[in-house]
Amino acid sequence: MSQAELQVEHQGAVTVVRLNRPSKRNALSDRLVLAIQEAFLQLPATTGAVVIDGAGEHFCAGLDLSEIRERDAVEGLHHSRMWHKALNEVEQGRVPVVAALHGAVVGGGLELASACHIRVADATTFYALPEGSRGIFVGGGGSVRIPRLVGTARMSDMMLTGRVYNAVDGERLGFAQYLVDEGQAFDKAMALAQRIATNAPLTNYALMHALPRIADQPSDHGFFTESLIASIAQSAPEAKQRVRDFLEGRAGKVQKSD
Ligand code: 1HE
C-alpha cells in the first residue's frame, strides 16, 4: 500500500497515526485496516500514548464500499475477523489511544473511534451508522463497543432509522468525552496524550486491560480482579516513588476544575 495512506509520526512520547486518504474521506480499505494493525504492533518502546486522526474534512467514512464484492459466508466471517484483530490492537495494545475526531465519524469510522480510549470531537463532528441503509451490518466490533458508549437502544435507532448525531449531542450521549471548537481536536488530543504518557505505564495498562474486563465481570469477580491489579500496580517501584513524591511535597496536588 502507499505508505502515505497511513502516516505514522513519533513526537516525543506520543505517536501520531493519521489516516491519509482524504480524497476517499479516509475510507478504510483492507490494506488501510491492516496498516493500522501493523502500526500499532510496531509502536516503539518510547511511545507512551497514541493520537489517531484523519486528514481532510472528515475523520473516516467507514468501510471502503468500493471493495465490497460477493463474499461467501466464510469470506465474510474472515473479513470481519480481520477488522476485529486490527481494532483489538488499537484497544488492547500497550498504550492508551486518543482519537481526534472531526467531520464524518461513520460506520467503520465510528467502530475505529470506539476502539480508542478517549475521543475528542470538534464542533464539525457527526456520528452515524449507515450500515442499515447499505443492507449490511457492523463488522468491526461496533456491536460490542458502541452500546458500551451510548447504549443498545441508541445504536439500534441509528442503524434502523439512519439517525445522525451532531457533535454536541454526541458528547452529551457519550460518543466523545471532550468537545472542542472547530479545528481544535488534534491539539486537545495531543495535550491529553502527552499527559497520559507521563502516567506510570502500569496504571495506563491496568486502565486499558483490567477496567473493561472488571466492568464485564460479576461484582464478586470484579472486586477480586480489582484487588489483584491494585496490588500489582502499587508494588511497582515507580508507584512507590510517586507516592513518596506527593508525601514529601514534590508532586502536584489535585486542582479544582474551572
Ligand atoms: C467512499 C466512501 C466509502 C466516500 N467507501 N468510497 N460508509 C458510508 O456509507 C459512508 C459513505 N460516505 C458518505 O456518506 C460521504 O462520503 C461522507 C458524508 C463521508 C462525506 O461526504 P462528502 O460530500 O464530503 O464526500 P463524497 O463526495 O461523498 O465522497 C468523496 C469521494 O470519497 C467519492 O469518491 P469519488 O471517486 O467520486 O471522488 C466517494 O465515493 C468516496 N467515498 N465514502 C468508498 N465509505 C467493518 S464493517 C463497516 C461497515 C461500514 O463502515 S458501512 C458504512 C460505509
What is the pLDDT confidence band of residue 258, given thresholds at 50, 70 and 90? confident
Residue 221: other Cβ atoms inside 10 A: 12
* Cα(157)–Cα(131) distance, integer angstroms: 12
User: Of the given ranges (108-122, 184-198, 213-227, 237-251), which has the lowest mean pLDDT?
Assistant: 237-251
How many separate domains does the chain show?
2
pTM: 0.95
Q: What are phi and psi of 106, to 5 degrees?
A: -130, 155
**What are the Cα distances from residue 4, in Å, to 7, 12, 67, 185, 207?**
6, 21, 20, 22, 32
pLDDT of residue 34: 98
Query: Does 234 fall in a domain?
Result: yes
User: Of the given ranges (27-36, 40-49, 69-78), which has the lowest mean pLDDT?
Assistant: 69-78
- As a whole number, the mean pLDDT across the chain is 95
Contact 154, 191 (CB under 8 A): no
| Grid cell in block for residue 102 | 472531526
Is the beta carbon of 105 within 6 A of some atom in ligand 1?
no
Please give the angle made by the CA atoms of 123, 4 and 67, to the nearest 5 degrees: 80
**Shared-domain flag, residues 190 and 213:** no
Long-range contact set of residues 76-79: C-beta below 8 Å, sequence gap at least 24: 76/139, 79/30, 79/139
* Cα(159)–Cα(240) distance, integer angstroms: 48
Is the beta carbon of 232 within 6 A of some atom in ligand 1?
no
**Shared-domain flag, residues 41 and 159:** yes
Query: Does 253 fall in a domain?
Result: no
Q: Find the domain containing 69 and state its range.
A: 3-196
**Shared-domain flag, residues 70 and 95:** yes
Mutate to test the pocket of ligand 1, among 19, 20, 21, 25 (most ligand atoms within 8 A of CB): 25
